Amino acid sequence: MKKRVPALILLLALLAGCAKEEAPAVLEDGGFQVYYVSNDEAEIIAAAYEPACDPADTQAAVAEFTAQLETIPSMLEYEAPISGKIELLDWTLQEQLLTLNFSEYYAEVDATKEILTRAAIVRTLSQIPGIENIAFQVEGVPLTDAQGEVVGNMTADTFIYNAGREINTYEKVQLTLFFADGTGAKLLPVYRTVVYNSNILMERLIVEQLIAGPKTDGNDLGFYPTLNPACGIANISVRDGICYVSLDENFMVQTNPVTPQATIYSIVNSLAELPEVSRVQISVQGDTSMDFMDAMPLSAMYTRNLDIVRSFN
């Protein structure tokens, strides 16, 4: 169902959706947030927000939160993500996919500001129950990045966020990640652009993206995950060219039809793309005394293995 967002229609939508007596639902962490962009276009900030509507009413919640994203914040050093020449023409919600359609000026926004604007909008709206993915359009055409590639569907995890800090600086990076091919025995590189919080260790970002696995659409089609999606990171550090990766017990539970070698070297090869990493040691909660899948000793220091990478020739 398509919704226009000019002021009168938006106001009617808000009034209709908010005419409820019950208390609004909240997230598990205790509340909602609205994200803004700093005037110097260096960061975004989260401000606590209590919706007037019941967030479980997805249509009404989208109308209210988009209106908030258009409202100038009380902190004058920050600006509303949807402001100035950036105009939200309309939006549609279908099968948990929220599609936002912007005016043509959006395609002309400076790359850094565009990323921060998109991060603020996506992180704000993805909190609403009933929304799993968010897509951007410009005059009805899917948004493309600076390389001309379609940005595609986004979630809050597209924009890594460190909730322990109130103000966060975001950067954009292209990662080379190695996932399994259809045989489960060879690896293939995936080039993924991620906007992330600069306080996060790059090595940790890479492992988080490996755990997240290939995306279900776009350039990741035909690639298969190598790590158990339930796997957690206990600790990651780098010292003297060695990256120490400590994972939790779920790492030892292989849920994907891939070889032990493919799993280990998906981590090693991905991390070895960083110039400061020459070797990788993987452990389970710091314990290196076991073998992964009875085949790969965790006591070993692993180096990049190009033989396991499938050639496209």
Q: What are phi and psi of 260, to 5 degrees?
A: -60, -35
Q: What order of strands is seen across the sheet that includes strand 32-38?
A: 78-79, 32-38, 43-49, 167-180, 187-197
If asked whether residues 152 and 206 sit together in one domain, one would say no
pLDDT at 148: 72
What is the C-alpha to C-alpha distance for residues 282 and 247, in angstroms, rounded to an integer?
8
Query: For 276-285, how does the pLDDT look when each residue is reduced to its tens digit (9 = 90+)?
Result: 999 999 999 9
Mean pLDDT of 156-171: 55
If asked whether residues 28 and 143 sit together in one domain, one would say yes
pLDDT at 223: 86
Query: For 243-253, how does the pLDDT look when each residue is reduced to its tens digit (9 = 90+)?
Result: 999 999 999 99
Mean pLDDT of 9-35: 46
Within a domain: residue 190?
Answer: no
If asked whether residues 55 and 125 sit together in one domain, one would say yes
Per-residue pLDDT band for 13 (boundaries 50, 70, 90) equals very low
pTM of the model: 0.51
pLDDT at 162: 44
If asked whether residues 151 and 208 sit together in one domain, one would say no
Helix (H), strand (E) at residue 43: strand 43-49
Q: Comparing C-alpha atoms, which of 269, 183, 180 is closest to residue 220?
A: 180
pLDDT at 154: 86
If asked whether residues 60 and 125 sit together in one domain, one would say yes
pLDDT at 152: 84
Q: State the maximum Cα–Cα separation within the chain, in Å, rounded to a whole number.
A: 66
Structural domain of residue 90, as residue ranges?
A: 2-158
Q: Domain end: 158, 186, 220, which one?
A: 158
What is the C-alpha to C-alpha distance for residues 273 and 203, in angstroms, rounded to an integer?
10
Q: What order of strands is seen across the sheet that includes strand 242-247?
A: 233-239, 242-247, 279-284
Q: Is the pLDDT of residue 11 over 60?
A: no
If asked whether residues 217 and 141 sit together in one domain, one would say no
What is the C-alpha to C-alpha distance for residues 198 and 162, in angstroms, rounded to an integer?
9
Return mean pLDDT, the chain: 82
Q: Comparing C-alpha atoms, which of 176, 192, 179 is closest to residue 258?
A: 179
Q: Is the pLDDT of residue 19 over 70?
A: no
Max avg pLDDT among 2-6, 14-18, 73-77, 233-237: 233-237
Per-residue pLDDT band for 126 (boundaries 50, 70, 90) equals very high
> By three-state DSSP, how is residue 48 classified?
strand
Better-scored residue on pLDDT, 264 or 145: 264
What is the C-alpha to C-alpha distance for residues 153 and 282, in angstroms, rounded to an integer?
32
Q: List the end-to-end C-alpha distance of the chain, in Å, as a whole number.
A: 47
pLDDT at 47: 87
Q: Give the total number of structural domains in the chain.
A: 2
What is the C-alpha to C-alpha distance for residues 187 and 165, in angstroms, rounded to an integer?
36
Query: For 67-86, how does the pLDDT look when each residue is reduced to its tens digit (9 = 90+)?
Result: 999 998 876 678 899 998 99
Query: For 203-231, how does the pLDDT look when each residue is reduced to its tens digit (9 = 90+)?
Result: 999 999 999 898 765 555 678 999 999 99
Within a domain: residue 178?
Answer: no
What's 26's DSSP letter? -
Q: How far is CA 308 from CA 45, 211, 291, 296, in A?
A: 43, 19, 19, 14
Q: Domain end: 123, 158, 193, which one?
A: 158
If asked whether residues 265 and 126 sit together in one domain, one would say no
Q: Domain end: 99, 134, 158, which one?
A: 158
pLDDT at 56: 93
- Written as six digits, the tokens of 14 are 């808000």
Q: Comparing C-alpha atoms, which of 142, 139, 131 is closest to residue 63?
A: 131
- Written as six digits, the tokens of 193 are 């652009």
Give me the sign of the Cα torsion angle 247, 191, 150, 5. positive
What is the C-alpha to C-alpha distance for residues 122 and 116, in angstroms, rounded to an integer?
10
Mean pLDDT of 54-63: 95
If asked whether residues 88 and 212 sit together in one domain, one would say no
If asked whether residues 117 and 206 sit together in one domain, one would say no
Query: For 26-35, how does the pLDDT look when each residue is reduced to its tens digit (9 = 90+)?
Result: 344 458 999 9
- Written as six digits, the tokens of 81 are 């993500």
If asked whether residues 31 and 137 sit together in one domain, one would say yes
Say which residue the tokens 């493309």 belong to: 144
